[in-house]
Structure 1
Amino acid sequence: MKNKKIILILTLVLTIGMLSGCIQKAESEEVATVNGESISREAYLNELNIYKNMYETQYGKDVWSIEIEEGKTFERFLKESVLENMITDKALEQVAAEYGVEVTDEDLESQFETYKAQFPSEEDYQTFIESNNMTEEYLKNTIRKDKLINTYLTNYTEELEVTEDELKTYYEENKDQIDKVRASHILVEDPVLAQDILAKLYDGEDFAKLAEEHSIDSTSKTGGDLGFFGKGEMIPEFEEVAFSLDVGDLSGLVESQFGIHIIKVTEKQTTFEENREAVEEQYRSTLFNERVTEVKENAEVEKSVDYDKIDLGIEESPEEESDSTGEEESQNQESDDSENEDGEGSEETE
C-alpha cells in the first residue's frame, strides 16, 4: 500500500513538472535527444535533485531502497521517470510551437502571481525557493513551459468533434466509475434503537431530525447527508444497498463493521443523460492523455544515459548503517570462532 501511494504521488508530481535545483557539477553531455533537440545532463541532474529533496522530506532517507517492483528500487524508478517526463515535455513543447502556441509575458506574470499567492507570506515563498535550491527565474521558466503545454493540449482536445455515440459508448464502458448516488444515513450501535428509529421513519418522521438526534457519526450535524459518492468509495455492504434503492426509498437495517445503518437515497445519477456533462469531461480528458502518449510515441528519441552512473548523493540511513555494522560484526565473530576452533583442534592433535 505504501509503494502504491509513493507511485501515485510520484506520477502526480511528474505530471505537474515542478521545479529544479543543483545536485552536482554537471558535465557538458546530453542524456537524451528529442527530434534532434538535446536534454542536457545538467538539466536532468537538476530535476532529479528537486524530487530527491521532496521525497526525502516526505518519506525519509530510507525511501530509496524500497522496491517499487521486483528488482527495481525507488531510486532507479525515480531516475527513469524523471527522464521520461522530460522527454515527454520536450516533445510536447515542440508540437505546441509548431501549432503557434505562445505564452506572453503578461500571461506568465499572471500565472506566476497566482502560484505565488498560494504561500501565506513572502517569507514562506522565499523559504520554499531556498529549500529547493532553485531560482525564481527557473520557476518562471517552468510555469511558462507548463502553460504552453496545457494550452496546446486543451485547445487540441476542445477542437475535436465528439459524437453522441462516442460518448454513450464511453459511458457504457466506464459506467461503474461514473455513476453516483447521494444518500443520507443514520448510524447506531443498538439494534433495538435502530428498529425503533426505522419504525418512526415509516410513520413519517423527519429523517434529518432523527439523524441529528441519534446518529453516532459526524454526519449527524448535517442530518446524515453523505453527499454524492461513486462505487468503491463506501464499504461494500453499504454501497450495494445504496445503489439498489430508488430515490426516496429507505433501506432496512444494514449491518457493517461500524454499526447499524439506515440509508435513504436522495439523488441518483445513474443514466447517460444524468451524467452527460461528466461523461464528456472525462472523455475529453482521456483524449488529452491519449494525445500526450501519441506525441511522445511519434517523437524520435535517443537516450544516452547510464542510470547506474548517476549519483544522487543519497546518504545511507542510520538503520542501514546499523545493519551493515551488525553484519560486519557477525562476520568478524564467525571468523574469530572459526580461528578458535582451529586452534583448539591443533592443541588436541599435539
Structure 2
Amino acid sequence: MRFLLIACLFGLVCWTPVHAFETTINPDTAALVNGTVITTAEYRIERSRLLRLRKQKESDLEQITLSMLGREALENLIGRELLYQESAKKGLRVPAASVEAEVAMLRGKYSSAEEFTFSLEKMALTEQALSRQIEQGMAIQRLIEAEFGAKTQVSESEARAHYDSHRKDFLQPVRIRLSHILAAVEPAADDLSKEKARKKIAAIRQRITGGESFSALAGESDDASSNKKGGDLGYYSPGQLGKSMEEAAFSLKAGQLSAVVEDRFGYHLLKVTERKAETPLPFETVKDGISKQIQRERTSALMTPFLKRLRESAKVEILLGSED
C-alpha cells in the first residue's frame, strides 16, 4: 500500500532535539504531541513492529539496546503524529470509504475472517487501531505528495543515467538447472543407517560412471518430488541452496556429475544439466524500480529538514515511565 512508504522514512526521526520534559507519569500515555495523546499501547505496538522488522526477540537484547529501540519507537510515533497534524492543517483529509477499502483489501488476503483477526491479535492490533493507522498513513502520504511530489519526480533520462552508471547492480546472476539423486537419512540417524545410505548413493554413482542414465536412476531416489522428473529440481541462483549443496553444484560444468554430497536430508548426487551465465538485465525491466528508488532517496532527503522544522515548533511531552 502507498502509505507504507511512511515506514521507510521514520529512521529520520530519531534523536532530533525536542521541546520535551518529564512530568507526572500517566500509565496510559507515552507522550503528548501538541496535546494529542500517544498511548503506551501504541508505543508497545510500534516497539513490537520494530522487533519483528529486525527479526529480534526482546529477551535476547541488552537493556541499553532495548532502551534505544524504545526511544526509536516513540520517536517514530511522534514524527508520524506531527506529519498527520500537518496534513490536517492543510486540509488533506482521507475519506472513510478509502480507509475501508484498504482494510477490505487487507482482509481479502486472508482465507477467513478468523485468520485475519488472529493476525491482528499477534500484532496486538484491533481492527479499529488498524483503520486509524491506515487513515493516518494515507493522510501523511498525501502530505508528502503535496509537499514533495513535484520535486521528486524522476525522468526516464535520469533513470537511464543511474542504470548506466550502476550496471553491476542490474545483473541476472548465474543460474544452473540442477538434478539430483537422494539417499535420504535423518540427521539423528545412527551410524549404521548413515553408512547404509552412503553405500547406496555410492553404488548409484558407480552405475552412472559405468554408463547408466542419471535420469533413469533418479527414479530410485528417496525424493518423491523429483524422482518422477528424472531428478530435475529446476533452476537455482547463488544463495538459494544450502552451503554444501551450493558449493558442489556451482563448481560443476554442464553435464558433469558431482561426488557424493552430504546435507541434512542425506546423501546426494548432483548433475548440472544447464548453466546460464551472468547477464545484464534490460533497462526496460528495471526502470520502474530505479525510478522508485531515486524518488525514495529524494523524498527522504527533503523529509529530514521538513520534519525537523515541525519538531522544533511543536510542544512534545514525554510521559513514558523508565520501566518502559
Query: TM-score of the superposition, structure 1-length normalised?
Result: 0.55
Match of 2:270 in 1: 262
**Bigger relative contact order, structure 1 or 2 (CA pairs below 8 A, ≥6 apart):** 2
Equivalent position SS for 2:257: coil
> Is 1:116 matched up with 2:102?
no
Deviation at 1:194, TM superposition (A): 1.9
Q: Distance in 1 between matches of 2:45 and 2:116?
A: 16
Match of 2:16 in 1: none
Match of 1:48 in 2: 43
| Shift in alpha-carbon separation, 1:107–1:242, aligned structure 2, 3 A | farther
**Residue 167 of structure 1, aligned match among 163, 166, 180:** 163
Matched residues, number: 270
Q: Distance in 2 between matches of 1:284 and 1:158?
A: 8
> Is 1:72 matched up with 2:64?
yes
Q: Distance in 2 between matches of 1:66 and 1:122?
A: 33
Cα deviations by residue, 1:237-286 (Å, 9 ceiling, x for unpaired): 6445655667xx2223144332343222446372114x655544553453
Deviation at 1:185, TM superposition (A): 1.8
Amino acid at match of 2:262: Q
Match of 1:252 in 2: 257
| Shift in alpha-carbon separation, 1:160–1:229, aligned structure 2, 3 A | farther
Match of 1:193 in 2: 204
Amino acid at match of 2:135: R
More helix by share: 1
| Shift in alpha-carbon separation, 1:54–1:272, aligned structure 2, 3 A | closer
Deviation at 1:172, TM superposition (A): 0.7
Deviation at 1:48, TM superposition (A): 1.9
Cα deviations by residue, 1:19-49 (Å, 9 ceiling, x for unpaired): xxxx93227733xxxxxxx595x32633222
List alignment gaps of at least 5 residues for structure 2: 1-6, 11-25, 183-197
Q: Distance in 1 between matches of 2:92 and 2:321?
A: 37
Contact 1:179–1:269 (CA under 8 A) maintained in structure 2 = yes
Q: Which has the larger radius of gyration?
A: 1
Match of 1:347 in 2: none
Equivalent position SS for 1:309: coil
| Shift in alpha-carbon separation, 1:125–1:223, aligned structure 2, 3 A | same
Alignment of 1:94-173 (within 5 A): 103-123=94-114, 125=116, 135-147=126-138, 159-161=154-156, 162-173=158-169
Q: Distance in 2 between matches of 1:295 and 1:90?
A: 18
Contact 1:48–1:82 (CA under 8 A) maintained in structure 2 = yes
The percent identity for this pair of structures is 19
Match of 1:298 in 2: 305
Contact 1:241–1:251 (CA under 8 A) maintained in structure 2 = no
Q: Distance in 1 between matches of 2:155 and 2:318?
A: 40
Contact 2:102–2:134 (CA under 8 A) maintained in structure 1 = yes
Cα root mean square deviation, aligned: 4.9
Match of 2:178 in 1: 184
List alignment gaps of at least 5 residues for structure 1: 1-13, 18-22, 31-37, 313-350
Amino acid at match of 1:64: E
Equivalent position SS for 1:29: strand
